Amino acid sequence: MRSMILALMLVAGAFAPALAHQQKAAITKVLFNPRTEHIEVMHRFYLHDAEHAVRQIFGSDADIIADKQTQQRFAAYVAKRFTLLRDKKALTLNAVGFESDGKFFWVYQETPIPVNLEGLAVRHHALRDIWTEQTNMVNIETLDGDIKTLHFDGNDEILSVEFGHQH
């Protein structure tokens, strides 16, 4: 019995690194900031996922951990694959920055809050064009504190949320 438990532990240990590495999931927070009158967008990717992704997108020499140019290119890649739409028209999202923070890589964007905004449509394809199993969750926190959550997986292209006036 003891040798069987040891064997199972060894097998589980062999698979643990593979399971622990790529999460293939990202979280984006969309926040309405009344102080700045901007919609702030914060994308959080697992650094390990981003590491694998940049090698596939930009080549085997890409290094998101140590190379600022690769980090910038990844942030631009994310920006191209994330869109907020109002009445089927894309809002202009401005790049604010990016950073590596522990096991996460963050990309920041913002845009002024449109007047009388009653809903948003969202497109979020970052990493989903590389991995079909990639899931992107978007939490939208409105001015009144409500949180609406969108899950992008499978064949999801554009998902929408409705809310009262946000400005």
What single string gives the DSSP state of each residue in 13-27? Answer: HHHHHHHHH---EEE
Give the predicted TM-score (pTM) of the model: 0.85
The dihedral over CA atoms of 44, 49, 51, 52, expressed in degrees to the nearest 10, equals -150
pLDDT digits (tens, 9 = 90+) for 63-87: 999 999 999 999 999 999 999 999 9
pLDDT category at 6 given cuts 50, 70, 90 is very low
* Percent of the residues in the chain that have a pLDDT greater than 90, as a whole number: 77
Does the pLDDT at position 10 exceed 50? Answer: no
Q: Please give the CATH number for the structural domain made up of 22-162.
A: 3.30.70
* 100 within 8 A of 131, measured Cβ to Cβ: no
End-to-end Cα separation, the chain, in angstroms: 66
pLDDT digits (tens, 9 = 90+) for 112-163: 999 999 999 999 999 999 999 999 999 999 878 889 999 999 889 999 999 8
Mean pLDDT, rounded, for 13-35: 74
